[in-house]
Chain A
């Protein structure tokens, strides 16, 4: 007698499953990775040891990983809050550039003697406003005319990149260091540098985590969050409940853009210390979308996922330093990330065996849909 695999959705996954599945998935990935590494002639255990040392073992490694994770947390939040409402802002990349342009501009413009708290505060605020404004160019047509925000936010990324490149490479702008022959951004004053927690790790990380908690709280505990969740689940039900969908769309896309703008400001203030297109245009915005998706659009989930991805990235650098080829590094990174992502399926669904019984009615969802409304 044969059995059949049966997949049923879990109404409410338990904590054990939620925490256990990603861990098992990681082990599976490392097992598969060992095979690949073995085939390419590397010693898997040595490689894994190096990866662990570089990303997680010791204060320096952890500082490096968390610093790298900081902008990813923010762009992850930017995507999570917008996607939560089915407003697909994929423009965090460009909104981050605008935040960086605004923050570095303010740092260069304000008197160098301004107290650090005011200086950094102004940069964060300016970055947030610039990011929100950039998102607004897509949000207003979306909210009132129904324009597809996927296209507009994506296109604006290229505009923002071109603008940032122009300011440094294409002109003698206010942002460019006039003393150097090679184009480079002007260095911001010391008072504009983000205070440090420990080693390279700066206060920006704490700000990102605090914003994640704040966003989680707002979505969960305020009437605004209630609106966003309702619209995200069913815009028709929201309209029926008298929720103003256009206003909520504007607000959410502005918040999303502001978070990405803050990411840009924090990178300038805490890491690059100048408007540096080469270190800013590393797809932090697009990676945020992946992070939000894996975190199931939960702001609190964004933090560990961003740190995990940052750890894979820093570990990747160390693998190359011990002679693992870059192709294999990328393969390993992809393998780990894919396994953990695929594990999600087992969190939301229960897999069981059932003895083969009478066949199901041969009706598909599409067929049932076509018959809807008829008899």
Chain B
């Protein structure tokens, strides 16, 4: 067992085996599978977790990490396969079942009641009555757990006063106080500043030294290499490999994560050489403050010219969203400038930003043109013209499932995306900014979207493509920029992409 040295000498005092007096926990996932609508999200995956170790779970977006964890905490039921806890097969029907067996998860998006205190949040969901004495007892328990694990937080403080790092500690304490022996941390450092992340890992190390098993879900390779004992890599829902962290190199993990198949992608198909024209989008020295108050985009400069597709590769959450929202004018930059010719924008968030969900297709397709002829004259809408435009666009872009007067929220993701493209591309524009344009689409719809992006380029416009799908970025882009933690950390031309290097830059392992 790869138990490492305790941190600050504290870990050495604890018995690394005993947890509530019993033997260390062991959780075995045996050939588990789960599909949604015929698409395998997790396909025949086996993993073993042991008390006393931090187990890294690494994979791209969509690799199946969240689905696997959701099965471990009883949110989803596996289609096939077994979950074996301490030698007994268990059937988890709800998160309560999992909690009762000592399996808990800390989600990326916290689930705390802001106006409640730390202790009240921890009592919540345990069914204990909220009397003063019960609260006192919980506060004492929280204090004891907090000092035992180095998770300093004041039990009487209301959650709204706490920093993000403190809130995360509350979530962990909540699981520990419910007796979690297997603790799953989903992207725990995504919201943390570096020094907070270090504190977190100190606490996690203490937990495993006391016999807990911790699963660290991440797509940051350095984090996995620096803090785990063993690591399992998922790729496209399948088990790509498991090994002791000490025996793995970044290059080996990279190959497991992205596979060798990317190297074989035929990047010339449907792609004719073009000479780029004048710039249509220039971003210089752009810094944008994110929702957590930290810079989400950090001094980014880029140019998109006519007749080229510029692809931004990167793992989600590295500032891409803030960047394209600022380019589209939905956020204001802290510093720096965006200069753009007529812009068409396909936002990440289809329902809610791209489309008004409760309104019908003819309304949504006119969102940009409702002020002008033929859709309006002297402030009065012309419904017939709007319907005619809608019919024409629905035909041209093969949008299916739209009915007169029906809210667009009833339509499928692929058709929503086609509707947004239809509206955006039918407006005069020189540059298209597309964010995750094929996410969640079936193969045919995704291919239709890609065809539109290519023809944009071939018709002499510029395209800035944001995608978490590295294969897609490689396939479509003339130039590839890699984004990591708000910065552009690499640039490659189509002909000279070093795949290993891109993968390492995306995961922050190349510095």
A residues adjacent to B (C-beta < 8 A): 11-12, 220-226, 229-230, 233-234, 236-242, 361-363, 366-367, 369-375
Report the nearest B residue to A11, measured CB to CB.
Answer: B406
Q: How far is the CA of A319 from the CA of B301 in the complex (A)?
A: 76
Kindly identify which residue among B186, B358, B368, B379 contacts A241, using a CB–CB cutoff of 8 Å: B368
Q: How far is the CA of A11 from the CA of B367 in the complex (A)?
A: 21
Kindly identify which residue among A224, A371, A373 contacts B316, using a CB–CB cutoff of 8 Å: A373
Contact A367 B75 (CB under 8 A): yes
Known: A223-B371, A362-B75. A375 touches B61 (CB 8 A): yes
Contact B381 A375 (CB under 8 A): no
Q: How far is the CA of A145 from the CA of B405 in the complex (A)?
A: 35
Known: A234-B352, A240-B367, A370-B108. 18 other contacts (CB 8 A): A12-B403, A12-B405, A224-B379, A225-B381, A226-B363, A226-B381, A229-B356, A230-B356, A230-B367, A234-B358, A237-B355, A361-B36, A362-B94, A370-B111, A371-B70, A371-B75, A374-B187, A375-B41
| Interface residue B380 (Cβ < 8 Å from any Cβ of A) | yes
A327 to chain B, nearest CB (A): 35
Contact residues, B282-330 vs A (CB, 8 A): 316-317, 328, 330
Residues of A close to B352: CB separation below 8 A:
234, 236-237
| Interface residue B349 (Cβ < 8 Å from any Cβ of A) | yes
Interface string of B26-62 (1 = CB under 8 A from A): 0000000000100001000000000000000001011
Residues of B close to A11: CB separation below 8 A:
403, 406-407, 410
Contact A375 B359 (CB under 8 A): no
Q: How far is the CA of A371 from the CA of B36 in the complex (A)?
A: 15
Q: How far is the CA of A11 from the CA of B357 in the complex (A)?
A: 12
Contact B61 A362 (CB under 8 A): no
Known: A236-B330, A240-B328, A362-B93. A371 touches B66 (CB 8 A): yes
Contact B70 A363 (CB under 8 A): yes
Kindly identify which residue among A220, A237, A363 contacts B367, using a CB–CB cutoff of 8 Å: A237
Known: A369-B109, A375-B62. A236 touches B353 (CB 8 A): yes
Residues of B close to A369: CB separation below 8 A:
109
Known: A361-B77, A375-B62, A375-B64. A233 touches B70 (CB 8 A): no
Report the nearest A residue to B107, measured CB to CB.
Answer: A370
Q: How far is the CA of A222 from the CA of B370 in the complex (A)?
A: 10
| Interface residue B117 (Cβ < 8 Å from any Cβ of A) | no
| Interface residue B484 (Cβ < 8 Å from any Cβ of A) | no
27 contacts between A and B (CB under 8 A): A11-B403, A11-B406, A11-B407, A11-B410, A221-B383, A223-B371, A224-B379, A226-B363, A229-B356, A230-B356, A230-B359, A234-B356, A236-B349, A237-B354, A240-B328, A240-B330, A240-B354, A240-B367, A361-B76, A362-B75, A362-B93, A367-B70, A367-B95, A373-B316, A374-B65, A375-B62, A375-B64
A118 to chain B, nearest CB (A): 29
Q: How far is the CA of A82 from the CA of B196 in the complex (A)?
A: 45
Kindly identify which residue among B75, B107, B357 contacts A233, using a CB–CB cutoff of 8 Å: B357
Interface string of B71-113 (1 = CB under 8 A from A): 0001111000000000000000111000000000001110100
Residues of A close to B74: CB separation below 8 A:
362
Known: A237-B367, A239-B330, A240-B345. A374 touches B354 (CB 8 A): no
Q: How far is the CA of A238 from the CA of B357 in the complex (A)?
A: 12
Contact B359 A373 (CB under 8 A): no
Known: A226-B370, A367-B75, A375-B64. A221 touches B406 (CB 8 A): no
Contact B379 A223 (CB under 8 A): yes
Name the residue in A222, A226, A237, A375 with the highest tally of chain B Cβ atoms < 10 Å from its Cβ.
A375
Known: A222-B380, A223-B376, A375-B65. A241 touches B330 (CB 8 A): no
| Interface residue B24 (Cβ < 8 Å from any Cβ of A) | no
Report the nearest A residue to B95, measured CB to CB.
Answer: A367
Contact residues, B89-141 vs A (CB, 8 A): 93-95, 107-109, 111
B residues adjacent to A (C-beta < 8 A): 36, 41, 59, 61-67, 70, 74-77, 93-95, 107-109, 111, 186-187, 316-317, 328, 330, 345, 347, 349, 352-359, 363, 366-368, 370-371, 376, 379-381, 383, 403, 405-407, 410
B58 to chain A, nearest CB (A): 12
Residues of B close to A238: CB separation below 8 A:
356
Residues of B close to A226: CB separation below 8 A:
363, 366, 370, 376, 381
Contact B186 A374 (CB under 8 A): yes
Known: A223-B379, A374-B108. A237 touches B353 (CB 8 A): yes
Residues of B close to A236: CB separation below 8 A:
330, 349, 352-353
Q: How far is the CA of A236 from the CA of B356 in the complex (A)?
A: 8
Q: How far is the CA of A359 from the CA of B85 in the complex (A)?
A: 24
Q: How far is the CA of A11 from the CA of B358 in the complex (A)?
A: 10
Q: How far is the CA of A239 from the CA of B367 in the complex (A)?
A: 10
Name the residue in B41, B74, B109, B356 with the highest tally of chain A Cβ atoms < 10 Å from its Cβ.
B356
Report the nearest B residue to A375, measured CB to CB.
Answer: B66
B363 to chain A, nearest CB (A): 7
Report the nearest A residue to B349, measured CB to CB.
Answer: A236
Q: How far is the CA of A375 from the CA of B41 in the complex (A)?
A: 9
Q: How far is the CA of A375 from the CA of B67 in the complex (A)?
A: 7
Contact A233 B356 (CB under 8 A): yes
Q: How far is the CA of A12 from the CA of B357 in the complex (A)?
A: 14
Residues of B close to A229: CB separation below 8 A:
356, 359, 363
Residues of A close to B356: CB separation below 8 A:
229-230, 233-234, 237-238
A233 to chain B, nearest CB (A): 4
Kindly identify which residue among B94, B95, B379, B407 contacts A222, using a CB–CB cutoff of 8 Å: B379
Kindly identify which residue among A222, A237, A240, A374 contacts B66, using a CB–CB cutoff of 8 Å: A374
Residues of B close to A220: CB separation below 8 A:
381
Residues of B close to A363: CB separation below 8 A:
70, 75-76
Contact A373 B379 (CB under 8 A): no
A245 to chain B, nearest CB (A): 12
Residues of A close to B187: CB separation below 8 A:
374
Residues of A close to B371: CB separation below 8 A:
223
B346 to chain A, nearest CB (A): 11
Report the nearest A residue to B325, measured CB to CB.
Answer: A240
Residues of A close to B347: CB separation below 8 A:
240
Residues of A close to B62: CB separation below 8 A:
375
A350 to chain B, nearest CB (A): 13
Kindly identify which residue among A234, A366, A371, A373 contacts B357, using a CB–CB cutoff of 8 Å: A234
Report the nearest A residue to B347, measured CB to CB.
Answer: A240
Residues of A close to B406: CB separation below 8 A:
11-12
Q: How far is the CA of A240 from the CA of B347 in the complex (A)?
A: 9
Q: How far is the CA of A226 from the CA of B386 in the complex (A)?
A: 12
Q: How far is the CA of A223 from the CA of B375 in the complex (A)?
A: 9
Residues of B close to A242: CB separation below 8 A:
368
A134 to chain B, nearest CB (A): 27
Kindly identify which residue among A223, A362, A372 contacts B381, using a CB–CB cutoff of 8 Å: A223
Report the nearest B residue to A237, measured CB to CB.
Answer: B356
Residues of A close to B66: CB separation below 8 A:
371, 374-375
Report the nearest B residue to A373, measured CB to CB.
Answer: B316
Q: How far is the CA of A375 from the CA of B349 in the complex (A)?
A: 16
